[in-house]
Chain A
Amino acid sequence: MTYVYYLLLSALLFALGAYGAMRRRSVLLLLMSVELMLNAANLGLITFARAWGSLAAQGAALLVVALAAAEVAVGLALVVAVFRVRESTTVDDLSELKG
């Protein structure tokens, strides 16, 4: 039964991250929200790994950690590049590619 609390925490964190990703206009906060969602998913994975004693889910969690690192590296690099051109880190300014 204790797993339920972990899963609830995971869901809460994910919801916070999703809310942040939709509401925040700063690129940096957007990236942090995405990180939050990734780690919420990680928490879920670990919880299930504990519950079923499965190593595969733990492996998946490690993979997510590596992916998140790479994502942040690329994301921050993009933020720096965009900032040099636009002098701004607001995502709503980057809306030229619309239909």
Chain B
Amino acid sequence: MLLAIGLPLLGFLVLGLFGRRFKEPTPGVLASALVGLSFSISVYLLFVGGERFALADWLPGIPLALSFDHLSGYMALVVTGIGFLIHVYAIGYMAGDEGFSRFFAYFNFFIAAMLTLVFADSYPVMFIGWEGVGLASFLLIGFWYADWKNADSARKAFVVNRIGDLGFLLGMAALYAFFGTLSISGLKEAIEGSLVLPAGLGLVGLLLFVAAVGKSAQVPLMVWLPDAMAGPTPVSALIHAATMVTAGVYLLARSSFLYVNLPDVSYWIAVIGVLTALYGALSALGQWDIKKIIAYSTISQLGYMFLAVGVGAYWIALFHVMTHAFYKALLFLASGSVIHALHGEQDVRKMGGLKKYLPRTHLHGLIGALSLAGFPLMAGFWSKDAIITATLTHPFGGLGFYLVALFTAFLTAIYAMRWYVLVFLGEYRGQGHPHEAPAVMTVPNDVLAFGATFAGFLALPEPFWNLIEPFLAPALAEVEAHPFGLWTEWGLILLSAVVALVGLWAGYTLYANYFKKKLPEWYRAFERAALEAFYVDKIYNAFLVNPAKETAKLLGFTDRGLDATYVATASEVGALGRVLARLQTGYARFYAFLILFFAGLFVLWGVVR
């Protein structure tokens, strides 16, 4: 297990220190191979049944513990599996870039940090990984740091994440105060064994939730994720869609033993989740940047996962993490191929008709979009439908959640179709000749497309098989669900299938020949608002960022004023010294005169007095 973390870390060190000496594809191949090895190790560990590693006396009550149980194994497979595919893809995407080896060094560092986060069996260890992935995210968003905008985006992501990290730290402190330990398995025993829980436990739940909100870009801390698209596309796929942003969901699932005892906090998690899902879906409808559409859809899908965690359907949240990782990575990599083909063009208004030029990528995009939209029998359909149904069957759910989630599913289908139609259908609206991506980029997409199509069959509703729930059950808290009868359940499934299909149809009719249509004014107004993501950034700027900037300016001004005073005083004293120094002529006779003169003056003073 240490090897699984250590190999990517080794790759980071080797590439970071000596990367410049390797020729072009070597760093990418090396990095990919190491992540592939990590994947094989994870598979092997899963078959031998897990592993534990602990240094008991790291700090009092805080063991340096890693554990490979079903939950962390599942997550590790997603991270290393998807990570491997994206590494391979990046060999093609980053070809010819100046920072080729630097890119793969960061990528390997990210995988190592993410695995630390996943394997951690005590919160401080998890926090190390948590900060590690944050750092990797910062470095990779600002990968093309020469452009001022990219560096700004990186800083924004880092600063917004700090708010969540503060929640994590305070949550750990509170847990330590209550239980005297931060070992996750220890805490689990303590909480499951105690009859009366400390009154402040809700606060702990809330603080850890704040951490998850920051990392997973939920309302109100979602503003950093769309800007994070400034990084290279494989980064968006790996970090800001498939793995890192799901760390918040993972944290909540890891702490499920805590949240199952906190109905109030769980309720708020579900509220935030469903709000985020709706917000992301609405904002996605107004975007023109091919990657930003998918970024907002990521926010929306993360909202679904939080909704699932909130209502108590922990395994479903993780199921959605996996299917989402497949189809979202696929969508991002397909976008990457499109951007690659159009030499950096990201505006969908200048695309269209790419079906003809990029047949393979078109297929990938279609599969990804359908899976995202919840087209029946695709992976996204099963997991999203499971979440929507869970809002009714699980203890912390409710009808309101169900309706909003269903409506959001409808919007999801529309914007997925919008993305697909604007990019691939219609007539080509740009200049230049698009060319299909090389095999090193299309083959990973083939694998992802396979996953995005069939991954859902791992967990089907009753009466079919469900492999994931019993597999994850030992690591998650037990929740008493009240499943519906078969007829009701399949009726609901049919309903969401119909909703998805209607959404797809609506999206197609709305956006086919979109640029020749005359649309009603209210829809144009809505689109403008959605393009600005409903002005959240502007509001934050007006109420938080600009006042902070003004304060900083004022303080800087005061500081400069003080500085100037000191400098001026010093220079005045210096000038005085230079004047007085003229008295030191160096002539002994002059000194003798001065002595006599002042001695005479002294005597005179005595006489006069």
- Which residues on A are within 8 Å of B, measured CB to CB? 18, 21-25, 30, 91-92, 94-99
Contacts and interface: CB of A to CB of B under 8 A. Distances in A.
A95 B589 CA distance: 10
Contacts of B581: 99
A91 B587 contact: yes
B596 A91 contact: no
A21 B592 contact: yes
B583 interface: yes
Contacts of A98: 584-586
A73 B446 CA distance: 106
B608 to A, nearest CB: 19
11 contacts: A18-B592, A22-B589, A22-B593, A30-B588, A30-B589, A91-B587, A92-B587, A92-B589, A95-B585, A98-B586, A99-B584
A94 B591 CA distance: 13
A84 B593 CA distance: 28
Nearest to B579: A99
B580 A95 contact: no
A94 B585 contact: no
B582 interface: yes
A30 B586 CA distance: 16
A23 B596 CA distance: 13
B592 A97 contact: no
A92 to B, nearest CB: 6
Interface of B: 580-589, 592-593, 596
B588 A99 contact: no
A57 to B, nearest CB: 18
The 5 closest A-B pairs by CB, nearest first: A99-B581, A95-B586, A98-B586, A99-B584, A91-B588
Contacts of A25: 589
A42 to B, nearest CB: 17
B573 to A, nearest CB: 15
Contacts of A23: 589
A18 B588 contact: no
Contacts of B580: 99
Contacts of B584: 97-99
Contacts of A24: 589
A51 B143 CA distance: 99
Nearest to B587: A95
A33 to B, nearest CB: 9
Among A25, A97, A99, which residue has the most Cβ atoms of chain B within 10 A? Answer: A99
Contacts of A95: 585-587
Contacts of A92: 587, 589
A91 B593 CA distance: 14
A32 to B, nearest CB: 14
A95 B587 CA distance: 5
Which of B582, B584, B588 is the most central at the interface, judged by chain A CB atoms within 10 Å of its CB? B588
B588 A94 contact: yes
A91 B585 contact: no
B582 A99 contact: yes
A82 B586 CA distance: 16
A21 B584 CA distance: 18
B592 A99 contact: no
Contacts of A30: 588-589
Q: Which among B580, B582, B587 has the greatest number of chain A C-beta atoms within 10 A?
A: B587
Nearest to A19: B596
A25 B590 CA distance: 11
A18 B596 contact: yes
Nearest to B582: A99
Nearest to A91: B588
Nearest to A21: B592
Contacts of A97: 584, 586
A92 B590 CA distance: 10
Contacts of A22: 589, 592-593, 596
A61 to B, nearest CB: 20
Nearest to A34: B592
A32 B586 CA distance: 21
Nearest to B578: A99
Given A25-B589, A95-B587, 12 more contacts: A21-B592, A23-B589, A30-B588, A91-B587, A92-B587, A94-B588, A95-B585, A97-B586, A98-B584, A99-B580, A99-B581, A99-B585
Contacts of A99: 580-585
Contacts of B593: 22
Contacts of B587: 91-92, 95
A38 B583 CA distance: 26
A96 B580 CA distance: 17
B583 A91 contact: no
A30 B582 CA distance: 24
B592 to A, nearest CB: 5
Contacts of A91: 587-589
Nearest to B589: A22
A95 to B, nearest CB: 3
Contacts of A18: 592, 596
A90 to B, nearest CB: 11
A91 B588 CA distance: 7
Nearest to B577: A99
Contacts of A94: 586, 588
B468 to A, nearest CB: 88
A18 B586 CA distance: 19
A92 B581 CA distance: 18
B598 to A, nearest CB: 13
Nearest to A94: B588
A89 to B, nearest CB: 12
Q: Most A CB atoms within 10 A — which of B580, B589, B593?
A: B589
Nearest to B583: A99
Contacts of B586: 94-98
Contacts of B592: 18, 21-22
A97 B583 CA distance: 11
Nearest to B593: A22
B582 to A, nearest CB: 6
A21 B585 contact: no
A55 to B, nearest CB: 26
Nearest to B590: A22
B607 to A, nearest CB: 14
Nearest to B581: A99
Contacts of A21: 589, 592
B603 to A, nearest CB: 12
Nearest to A95: B586
A97 B580 CA distance: 14
Contacts of B596: 18, 22
